């Protein structure tokens, strides 16, 4: 694709990177074929190629965003299915991130839109605020007609009761039976996940400890910053990124870390991109690169580094039919797909393939709250494809997908790490107690 950035514009590091990406695009349109919003809406501007043109036009012409551009960019799920399909290696993720940051700087969003986005940014990135809102929700439910449509939707999605935690809150979880751990990893426990589904982190810690691996949860790390990053809130996101990089790097230097484990694939994708985000920052470049290199999704780490000891064998256990839902941030964002499937296969159960498995379920961070109609259409399609193959439960690697898919089906949905923990000596997951 031809570009027309001036020399002056190319002094900006983000313009410089984006220009290189634009030049790779040969506008073949192959990416439209696997774009969920293009498939649903059929509009060129709701596909990756159209969005690339919109972003290029804004950046090249120093054009402020307008409502038409914002509509089409906001509809992008950041599922990165287009990146898997593109034969030219166009890094759409970096373009859409740049486009969103430009929108945030140059566009004045309508009042309720702004309030909703600020509310989500403030509440979902803070465990304390999220818990407070959960409690408050129980009281405001009778008056929820007073709020905007999006806030009403969020209130309706809030659970009435939270699951109980079974592990004490600590900074270091050491393996019990060994004097010296075989490895030492940091775990990102996340912001929303540890409130909504603490069992995911607990299964991760138990499983790693059982295999001789020490798990550290450094104080001060909550959110990975991806939520603000995808909302275009650069300043807030960068503050979080820098804090996380400093804390993890310090831990790496002082006590040693073999890996940083993410069990929320949306977060893992962003942390693996810290190196790119800080590519021109002299203070953080080296540290950010190291943090990205150390980061592994839990399925990737288990498959590559851990010799798992399965105690439930197919001969003495029941054989289940498990549908594996590959979260977009994992399969397209991190190119990690077969690892989780291989792990589940090792349990001796059957892994069922979901047709159109490359297409997003509609969860996509805050997307199901901000673009509810499209998200619901995608959910309907995903659930149809899952129910067609009649699994006993669904396994996936992202809390967003778990909560979103669970809203559309009665089939239990759980994290892959809960399945692996169970088959290597952990408790049977509560959600499966009746099957
Ligand atoms: S598939 Fe790649 S090269 Fe082709 S239009 Fe899409 S982004 Fe551009
Ligand atoms: S990230 Fe997903 S929704 Fe956005 S353009 Fe690419 S395929 Fe379409």
CA of 196 to the centre of ligand 1 (A): 38
pLDDT by residue (tens digit) across 105-127? Answer: 999 999 888 888 888 888 788 87
- For the chain, give the mean pLDDT: 92
Residue of 194 and 423 predicted with greater confidence: 423
Give the pLDDT score at 314: 62
28 CA distance to ligand 1 middle (Å): 5
Own/partner pairs, 245-251, CB within 8 angstroms, 24+ separation: 245/274, 245/278, 245/284, 245/287, 245/288, 245/291, 246/287, 247/218, 247/219, 247/220, 247/221, 248/186, 248/218, 248/221, 248/291, 248/294, 249/287, 249/290, 249/291, 251/186, 251/216, 251/218
| Residue 328, ligand 2, Cβ within 6 A | no
Cβ of 50 closer than 6 Å to ligand 1, yes or no, is no
List the residue whose alpha carbon is closest to atom 5 of ligand 2.
48
Q: Dihedral of CA 171/188/340/304: which sign?
A: negative
Q: Cα(372)–Cα(114) distance, rounded to whole angstroms?
A: 16
Delineate the domains of the chain, giving CATH numbers in brackets: 9-106 (1.10.1060.10), 113-157 (no CATH), 172-304 (1.20.1050), 309-432 (3.40.50.1860)
Q: At what angle do helices 372-388 and 399-406 cross, to 10 degrees?
A: 80
User: In this structure, what token pair is assigned to residue 294?
Assistant: 């150390």
Write out pLDDT tens, residues 138-187.
777 777 777 777 677 777 777 767 777 888 888 999 997 667 899 999 99
Q: What phi and psi values does residue 208 have, to the nearest 5 degrees?
A: -70, -45
Alpha-carbon span 372 to 377, nearest angstrom: 9
List the residue whose alpha carbon is closest to atom 2 of ligand 1: 86
Ramachandran assignment for 183, one of left (phi > 0), alpha (psi -120 to 50 degrees), beta (any other): beta
State in Å: Cα 106 to ligand 1 middle: 27
Probe ligand 2: pick from 81, 84, 358, max atoms within 8 Å of CB?
81
Q: Tell me the ligand closest to 29's alpha carbon.
A: 1
- CA–centroid distance, residue 72 to ligand 2 (Å): 11
Greatest C-alpha distance within the chain: 69
Ligand 2 mean position, distance from CA 231 (Å): 15
């Amino acid at each position: 694709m031809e570009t027309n950035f001036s020399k002056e514009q190319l002094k900006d590091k983000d313009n410089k990177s984006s220009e290189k990406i634009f030049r790779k695009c040969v506008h073949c349109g192959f990416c439209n074929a696997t774009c969920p919003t293009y498939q649903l809406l059929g509009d060129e501007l709701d596909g990756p190629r159209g969005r690339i043109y919109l972003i290029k036009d804004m950046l090249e012409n120093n054009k402020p965003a307008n409502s038409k551009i914002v509509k089409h960019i906001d509809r992008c799920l950041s599922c990165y299915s287009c990146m898997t399909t593109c034969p030219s290696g166009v890094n759409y993720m970096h373009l859409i991130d740049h486009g969103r940051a430009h929108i945030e700087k140059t566009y004045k969003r309508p009042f309720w839109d702004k309030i909703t986005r600020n509310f989500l940014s403030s509440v979902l990135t803070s465990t304390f605020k999220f818990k407070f809102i959960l409690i408050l929700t129980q009281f405001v439910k009778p008056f929820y007609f007073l709020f905007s449509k999006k806030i009403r939707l969020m209130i309706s999605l809030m659970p009435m009761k939270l699951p109980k935690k079974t592990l004490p809150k600590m900074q270091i979880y050491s393996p019990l039976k060994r004097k010296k751990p075989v490895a030492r990893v940091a775990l990102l426990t996340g912001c929303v996940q540890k409130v909504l589904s603490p069992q995911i982190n607990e299964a991760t810690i138990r499983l790693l400890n059982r295999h001789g691996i020490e798990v550290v949860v450094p104080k001060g790390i909550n959110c990975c910053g991806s939520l603000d990053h995808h909302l275009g809130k650069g300043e807030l996101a960068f503050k979080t990124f820098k804090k996380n990089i400093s804390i993890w790097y310090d831990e790496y230097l002082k006590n040693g870390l073999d890996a940083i484990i993410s069990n929320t694939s949306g977060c893992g994708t962003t942390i693996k991109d810290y190196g790119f985000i800080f590519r021109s920052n002299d203070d953080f470049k080296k540290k950010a690169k190291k943090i990205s290199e150390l980061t592994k999704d839990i399925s990737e780490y288990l498959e590559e580094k851990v010799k798992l000891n399965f105690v439930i064998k197919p001969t003495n256990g029941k054989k289940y039919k498990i549908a594996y839902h590959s979260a977009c941030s994992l399969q397209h964002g991190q190119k990690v797909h077969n690892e989780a499937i291989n792990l589940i296969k090792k349990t001796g159960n059957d892994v069922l393939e979901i047709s159109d498995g490359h297409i997003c379920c509609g969860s996509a961070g805050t997307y199901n709250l901000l673009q509810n109609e499209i998200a619901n259409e995608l959910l309907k399609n995903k659930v149809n494809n899952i129910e067609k193959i009649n699994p006993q439960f669904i396994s996936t690697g992202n809390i967003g997908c778990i909560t979103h898919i669970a809203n559309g089906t009665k089939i239990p949905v759980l994290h892959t790490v809960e399945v692996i923990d169970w088959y290597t000596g952990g408790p049977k997951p509560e959600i499966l107690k009746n099957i």
